[in-house]
Amino acid sequence: MAEGDLLEMATTALGIKTTPRHIALIMDGNGRWAAARGLPRLEGHRRGVEALRRAVRAAIELKISYLTVYSFSAENWSRPRDEVQSLLGLLHRFIRNDLNELHASNVRVRVIGARADLSPDILGLLEEAERVTQANTGLTLVVAFNYGARQEIAAAARALAEMVAQGRLAPNEIDADAIAARLDTADIPDPDLIIRTSGEQRLSNFLLWQAAYAEFVFLPILWPDFDRAAMIAALQEYAHRERRFGRVEPALSAKTAS
């Protein structure tokens, strides 16, 4: 039996008709998870890494093509110094400990976000993860680190302005495709589904451009509690959404045509 048929059988059994090609996760609520237990925020972040592992495993199992995870925003630098240090430490350890397993699972790691001011050790590690896994053909795990969508769009505008200044591009050639091609996500399809945990209903500077037609699912659970069941619940909700992309619903358009 073809792999596609097997996947269809598996998702049908779960009651999922349409699986998104690209899921993006806003992993929020680590601090509240810890506070609710009288633990330091760092403990919430530690448990958050375990939830991330579960999310990656679920995405592999469910044959999702792209999983983007918001791991650290451009604005998260303004948190207390020791919290920033612990978050960087956890990212470090996650890549050190999990890179081999990710590679063995045929996962390709990509990193989005500004790289210019990162410390050489973090940058080296992120680049190593990309290099080691670049030929893998399974899940693409996109890690958004030091990521801010406004900064990303501004950088794309700057690149285009430089081309215009050099006479290599005419202003009237700047369209949506030209901008998309200069974002960090240039060769990554737009997210179909954006899941945010913790109950907050906002994007917090995540994928502003790419989210134009994404479906949003806001889960009331805190990120350290995220698991396969939560992912499936979000997929079931997604399967009931009707995506229109500005068009009319197919049944309706058939009626209008007749």
Helix-helix angle 81-104:41-61, to 10 degrees: 20
225 binds Mg ion (CB under 5 A): no
Q: Which residue in 20, 31, 113, 191 binds ligand IPE (CB under 6 A)? A: 31
Which range, of 8-16, 56-64, 123-131, 194-202, touches ligand IPE by CB under 6 A?
A: 194-202
Site string (2-41) toward Mg ion, x via CB under 5 A: --------------------------x-------------
Shortest separation between residue 33's beta carbon and ligand IPE, angstroms = 7
Q: Which of 42, 68, 72, 129 is in the footprint of ligand IPE by CB under 6 A?
A: 72
97 is catalytic: no
For 150, the token pair is: 């406004």
> Which of the listed partners (ligand IPE, Mg ion, none) does 73 bind, with a CB threshold of 5 to 8 Å by partner kind?
ligand IPE
Neighbours of 6 (CB within 10 A): 11
Contact by Cβ (8 Å): 55, 224: no
Residues 213-242 that bind ligand IPE (CB under 6 A): 223
Which range in 2-10, 16-24, 176-184, 195-203 contacts ligand IPE by CB under 6 A? 195-203
DSSP letter string, 190-236: PPSEEEE-SS----TTSSTTGGGG-EEEE-SS-GGG--HHHHHHHHH
Looking at the DSSP assignment, which residues form a beta bridge with residue 111?
A: 143
**Do 111 and 141 form a contact (C-beta atoms < 8 A)?**
no
